[in-house]
């Protein structure tokens, strides 16, 4: 049985669509279809319910999914472990961070934890929240730094991953000022439609704002555009396109400069945690050393 069958399966679980999954796995759809069949043959039970228009997991598939994720991660870790032992020890720390944090917060924070000299080579990948989750699950990175709203449903199963708070942030409604320095719009004012600059759904901030009741459907608010990149939204807001909820960490310079001003009073702010995730399973010595530094840090 080919180990990449697990990757195929997990991709299919994400997409619930053979054609798209096949494309993501860089295969033709027939080949992909047969590979899923092959996996099912190996497991000796169907994992997928195929009804032409609706692809769903069977009970067996649902049971199998978390195991498959664990196996994929374990495969990756086993390889890294061996490489490290071989001395080819890429002393590289692989970590993912969401776009919003990788620009400003993460670099600063890494210096606090201990300069790069102590960390060794750093391989940081900046991507969406969704991708970061995936990278961590696949074992392609050892850590993932992102925003987290307390008590929101987790994307990462508690049983396999743990997190540690490393800071806090606020999502602040901001927009460009008019000539007199006052906000172009003001949330809560019963005025006309307010153009809203949102996050697209792959973004973690999207989920957080949704959970906070600040989503598309809100009255008096019209989503004007959305982007995965908080910094793109920041630029749009600066140009007077509308109101955006932006992380304070990202926007505080602009606020100080006066190029962005509050479009609502602080009671509307959304407090969020900044956290770092890791797998519960044992990582390489190098990564564990880093984690020790992280948790001994007082934030």
Partner DNA sequence: CTGAATTCATGCGCGTTCTGCATGAATTAT
Partner DNA sequence: ATAATTCATGCAGAACGCGCATGAATTCAG
| Of 3, 6, 7, 29, the one binding DNA by CB under 7 A | 29
Three-state SS for 135? helix
Q: Is 18 in the site for DNA (CB under 7 A)?
A: yes
Q: Which stretch binds a second copy (CB under 8 A): 75-83, 97-105, 163-171, 185-193?
A: 75-83
Which residue, 25 or 149, is less far from DNA as judged by CB?
25
| Nearest-approach distance from CB 227 to DNA, in angstroms | 24
CB atoms within 10 A of CB 209: 21
Write each residue from 147 to 176 as x if it is in contact with a second copy (CB under 8 A), else as -, in one continuous string. ------------------------------
| Nearest-approach distance from CB 105 to a second copy, in angstroms | 33
| Nearest-approach distance from CB 68 to a second copy, in angstroms | 6
**Rounded-to-integer distance, Cα 296 and Cα 299, Å:** 9
- Return the closest-CA partner of residue 282 out of 142, 72, 96, 133: 142
Q: Is 46 in the site for a second copy (CB under 8 A)?
A: yes
Give how many residues touch a second copy by CB under 8 A: 34
- Return the closest-CA partner of residue 246 out of 144, 72, 27, 235: 235
27, two tokens: 């295969």
**Rounded-to-integer distance, Cα 206 and Cα 194, Å:** 18
Q: Is 59 in the site for a second copy (CB under 8 A)?
A: yes
**Rounded-to-integer distance, Cα 226 and Cα 263, Å:** 18
Q: Please report, as ranges, the residues that interact with DNA according to CB under 7 A.
A: 2, 17-19, 26-31, 33-38, 50-53, 55
């Amino acid at each position: 049985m080919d180990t990449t069958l697990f990757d195929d399966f997990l991709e299919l679980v994400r997409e619930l669509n053979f054609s798209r999954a096949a494309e993501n796995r860089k295969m033709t759809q027939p080949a992909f279809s047969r590979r899923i069949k092959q996996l099912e043959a190996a497991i000796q039970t169907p994992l997928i319910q195929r009804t032409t228009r609706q692809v769903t997991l069977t009970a067996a598939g649902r049971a199998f999914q978390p195991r498959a994720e664990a196996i994929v991660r374990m495969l990756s870790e086993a390889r890294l472990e061996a490489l490290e032992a071989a001395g080819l020890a890429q002393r590289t720390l692989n970590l993912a961070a969401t776009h919003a944090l990788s620009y400003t917060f993460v670099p600063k924070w890494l210096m606090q934890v201990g300069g790069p000299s102590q960390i060794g080579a750093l391989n940081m990948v900046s991507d969406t929240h969704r991708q970061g989750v995936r990278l961590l699950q696949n074992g392609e990175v050892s850590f993932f730094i992102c925003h987290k709203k307390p008590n929101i449903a987790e994307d990462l199963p508690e049983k396999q991953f743990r997190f540690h708070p490393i800071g806090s942030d606020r999502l602040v409604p901001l927009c460009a000022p008019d000539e007199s320095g006052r906000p172009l719009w003001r949330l809560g004012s019963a005025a006309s439609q307010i153009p809203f600059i949102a996050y697209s759904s792959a973004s973690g901030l999207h989920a957080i704002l949704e959970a906070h009741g600040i989503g598309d459907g809100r009255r008096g608010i019209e989503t004007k555009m959305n982007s995965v990149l908080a910094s793109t939204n920041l630029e749009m807001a600066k140009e007077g396109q509308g109101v955006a909820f932006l992380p304070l960490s990202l926007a505080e310079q602009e606020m100080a400069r006066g190029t962005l001003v509050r479009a609502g009073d602080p009671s509307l702010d959304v407090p969020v945690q900044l956290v770092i995730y890791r797998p519960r399973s044992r990582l390489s010595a190098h990564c564990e050393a880093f984690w020790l530094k992280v948790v001994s840090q007082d934030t």
